[in-house]
């Protein structure tokens, strides 16, 4: 075995470990040599993620607006259908069209029930709306005559 000689200067120390440091640097250079490439790829991926995230947010906002518009249109159509049903039922039950919007109910059966109840109060279909041929109410002159006749009848007794 070789005899140990102590290192006393920096130059001796550098010479002793220089080869080891060189090998270690080469090993690390091989191991982390593609670090810059990976760093560039990570930056590119982060840009893509940011772009796609923004695109997803924009699509979600557009989808939400479309859903809101669809809900508004469905509500509008339901209102039109309800008005149509009310008008049809009012016509069938003989109610004036002005009263059609006063009918209430969520479905056709409930609206029909309300229309029939209102038709009973209003007079509905089947109630006579013809004016009488002759005035059956006594006029003011007839009232005077009736009074005089009553006095005359009272005197004759």
| Each residue's pLDDT tens digit, 33-53 | 888 888 999 999 999 999 999
Rounded to the nearest 5 degrees, what angle is found at the Cα of 114, between the Cα atoms of 108 and 117? 140
* pLDDT value, residue 105: 87
**117-144 burial, b if ≥16 CB within 10 A, otherwise e?**
ebbeeeeeeeeeeeeeeeeeeeeeeeee
Q: For the residues 25-38, what does the mean pLDDT come to? A: 87
pTM exceeds 0.75, yes or no: no
Residue 51 is encoded by which pair of tokens?
Answer: 């772009």
Greatest mean pLDDT among 1-10, 22-31, 38-47: 38-47
pLDDT surpasses 70 at 125:
no
Instruction: Say what angle helices 35-93 and 108-122 make with each other, to 10 degrees.
Output: 30
Whether the CB-CB separation of 86 and 111 falls below 8 Å is answered with yes
In the predicted model, is pLDDT for residue 136 greater than 80?
Answer: no
- Backbone CA torsion sign across 68, 69, 70, 75: positive
**pLDDT of 138 over the 70 cut:** no
């Amino acid at each position: 075995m070789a005899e140990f000689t102590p290192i006393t200067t920096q130059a001796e120390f550098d010479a002793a470990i220089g080869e080891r440091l060189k090998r270690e640097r080469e090993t690390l250079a091989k191991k982390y040599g593609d670090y810059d490439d990976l760093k560039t790829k990570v930056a590119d991926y982060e840009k893509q993620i940011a772009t796609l995230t923004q695109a997803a947010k924009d699509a979600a906002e557009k989808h939400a607006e479309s859903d809101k518009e669809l809900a508004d249109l469905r509500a509008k159509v339901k209102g039109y259908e309800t008005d149509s049903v009310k008008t049809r039922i009012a016509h069938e039950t003989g109610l004036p069209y002005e009263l059609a919007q006063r009918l209430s109910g969520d479905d056709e059966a409930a609206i029909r029930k309300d229309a029939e109840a209102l038709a009973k109060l209003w007079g509905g279909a089947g109630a006579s709306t013809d004016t009488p041929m002759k005035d059956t109410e006594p006029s003011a002159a007839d009232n005077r005559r009736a009074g005089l006749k009553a006095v005359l009848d009272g005197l004759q007794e």
